[in-house]
């Protein structure tokens, strides 16, 4: 019996190209470009699209309540009469799809007190 067959001190050699050592193609392509893998918006395309959309909405009078790199909550401007009646402002969730294209604006739940 040889040294490696029956409980020797060294484990058998690993195959040269195991799954652990193989670097994924995407990781090799993005290496050295300042992109962290696993990020939601690694290229920043979604954030730029959201910036542009929010700029137009703030010009229309909407207020920005909160924001992340890919989502935001904006509040619709209220009229004078809506303020007098004490109505809560309408809130919207704004999100950008994974390609930085379609921006959606859906009604958000009312703020809890």
pLDDT of residue 79: 76
User: Does the residue 66 lie in any domain?
Assistant: yes
pLDDT of residue 88: 79
User: Does the residue 22 lie in any domain?
Assistant: no
User: Does the residue 35 lie in any domain?
Assistant: no
Q: Which domain holds residue 88?
A: 45-107
pLDDT of residue 92: 95
Which pTM value belongs to this model? 0.58
User: Does the residue 25 lie in any domain?
Assistant: no
User: Does the residue 68 lie in any domain?
Assistant: yes
pLDDT tens for 43-75 read: 778 888 999 999 999 999 999 999 988 899 999
Total domain count, the chain: 1
User: Does the residue 27 lie in any domain?
Assistant: no
Calpha distance 57→99 (Å, rounded): 21
User: Does the residue 16 lie in any domain?
Assistant: no
Residues 69 and 46 sit within 8 Å (Cβ to Cβ)? yes
Question: What DSSP character marks residue 23?
Answer: P
pLDDT of residue 63: 93
User: Does the residue 29 lie in any domain?
Assistant: no
Residues 93 and 73 sit within 8 Å (Cβ to Cβ)? yes
Calpha distance 102→49 (Å, rounded): 9
Residues 72 and 98 sit within 8 Å (Cβ to Cβ)? no
Calpha distance 71→106 (Å, rounded): 11
The single residue listed with the structure tokens 């924001």 is: 67
CA 3 vs. chain centroid, Å, equals 53
Q: Which ranges of the chain have pLDDT less than 50?
A: 4, 18-19
Calpha distance 26→28 (Å, rounded): 5
């Amino acid at each position: 019996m040889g040294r490696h067959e029956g409980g020797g001190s060294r484990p058998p050699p690993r195959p040269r190209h195991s799954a652990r050592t193989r670097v994924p193609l995407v990781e090799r392509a993005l290496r050295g470009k300042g992109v962290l893998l696993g990020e939601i918006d690694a290229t920043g395309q979604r954030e730029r699209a959201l910036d542009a959309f929010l700029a137009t909405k703030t010009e229309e009078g909407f207020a920005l309540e909160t924001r992340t790199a890919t989502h935001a909550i904006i509040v619709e401007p209220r009229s004078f009469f809506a303020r007098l009646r004490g109505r809560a402002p309408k809130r919207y969730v704004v999100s950008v799809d994974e390609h930085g294209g379609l921006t959606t604006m859906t009604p958000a739940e009312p703020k809890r007190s």
